[in-house]
Amino acid sequence: MTASLAGKPRKVVPKILAVIHADGCTGCEACLEICPVDCIFKVAGEDHPRLQAFCDIDLDRCIGCQHCRQICPRDAIEMVPTPEIAGHVAAKGGPPRYVDETWDALVDQARRNAEEYLAKKHR
Ligand code: SF4
Ligand code: SF4
């Protein structure tokens, strides 16, 4: 992890964003360790103690650097053009309970990132 970037606000929405396909993810944390902005988080835990561990991404902070995709041993991470991110997030899968509880918020977040990217691009 590059400590100098962690926790700092992102200046622009990148042209590509990362999506973790939950069904291919083992929760090994390799991506989480390498992400320079600490925007990858482990899902199973206090709120979901019985789920198999897997990781997800805070798209509001992803800078599209691709380090996570390069290191993932399961090819579970895809880099997606930002205007198309909402469709990919909607289809990324995961345990039914997690999908039920988070789908709306995660897809809304993806849609907002796409809209912000397109608005700045056409300004
Ligand atoms: S693309 Fe970079 S910033 Fe985005 S989740 Fe992967 S490692 Fe983190
Ligand atoms: S590196 Fe791949 S398998 Fe490991 S936690 Fe990240 S997405 Fe999941």
pLDDT band at 2 (very low <50, low <70, confident <90, very high): very low
Kindly state if the Cβ of 55 falls inside 6 Å of ligand 1.
no
Q: What is the pTM of this model?
A: 0.90
Residue ranges and CATH numbers for the domains of the chain are: 16-121 (3.30.70.20)
Q: Which residues contact 97 (CB under 8 A, 6 or more apart)?
A: 48, 51
Binding pocket residue ranges, ligand 2, CB within 6 Å: 20, 25-31, 55, 71-72, 74, 76-77
- Whether the per-residue pLDDT at 89 is higher than 90: the answer is yes
* Predicted pLDDT of residue 39: 96
- Whether the per-residue pLDDT at 17 is higher than 70: the answer is yes
The whole-angstrom separation of Cα 90 and Cα 21 is 10
